[in-house]
Amino acid sequence: MALTDLAVKGAKPKDKDFKLGDDGGLYLLVTKAGGKLWRLKYRFDGKEKLLSFGAYPAITLLEARAKRDEAKKLLANDKDPAAELKAYKVKEQAHKANTFKVWSENWLAHWQVDKNTRHVDIISRRLETNILTVLGDMPITEITAVDVCG
C-alpha cells in the first residue's frame, strides 16, 4: 500500500524504530528519537542492499519516490545504485579538489622556493585580488579563454 503525505507527516516515534512501507522497496524509517529517514531496500547480485535518500521533511515523499525510480532504472540496466552514487560522490570530490585555487597554491609553493620574500608577497597578493576572486573556485578543466580574457 502506498504512503501518503498525511501518513508521513503524522508518523510519531514509538518505543522502537519502525518502518512505513511504500511501493517498490521504499520505506520511511521512523526512529525512536523522532527522526524520519527515507530508505530503499533492493537486491543486486543476489545480495540485499540498502540505499539512504535523506531525512524527511528535507526530502519529501515525492522526491523520495523520484530517487527510488532513478535507482530502479539503474537496476534495470544492471547497475548497482549504491555503487553509482559512491562513484558520483568521488567524482564530485575530485572535481572540487581540482580548482584553480588549489593549482595556484601548489604552483606558488613550488615557485617561491628561491624567490625574494617581497616579490612572493606581491605575486601572492596579485593572485588573490585579481585572479582568485574570479577563477578561484572554478574547476581547472572548465576554465575557458572567455573566463580569462573576458
- Structural domain including 144 reads 98-149
Determine the pLDDT at residue 1: 66
Cell numbers that stand for 57 in this block: 521533511
* Total structural domains within the chain: 2
Residue 92 lies in a domain: no
90 falls within a domain: no
Residue with more model confidence, 28 or 98? 28
State which of 52, 79, 106 marks the end of a domain: 79
pLDDT at 27: 95
Same domain, 16 and 70: yes
The verdict on 22 and 69 lying in the same domain is yes
pLDDT, one tens digit per residue, over 70-99 is: 999 999 999 999 999 999 989 888 877 889
For the residues 114-136, what does the mean pLDDT come to? 93
Place of cell 527522526: 35
Q: Is residue 91 part of a domain?
A: no
Same domain flag for 52 and 115:
no
Residue 49 lies in a domain: yes
Q: Do 27 and 19 form a contact (C-beta atoms < 8 A)?
A: yes
**Of 98, 99, 89, 49, the residue nearest 71 (C-alpha):** 49
Q: 132 and 73, same structural domain?
A: no
Tell whether 13 and 56 lie within a shared domain: yes
Are residues 105 and 72 part of one domain? no
CATH of the domain at 31: 3.30.160.390
> Burial code of 87-117, b = ≥16 C-beta within 10 A, e = fewer?
eeeeeeeeeeeebbbeebeeeeeeeeeeeee
Residue spans of beta strands (DSSP E) within the chain: 18-21, 26-30, 36-44, 47-55
Average of per-residue pLDDT across 3-16: 91
Q: Do 106 and 65 share a structural domain?
A: no
What is the per-residue pLDDT for 24?
87
Share of the chain above pLDDT 90, in %: 73
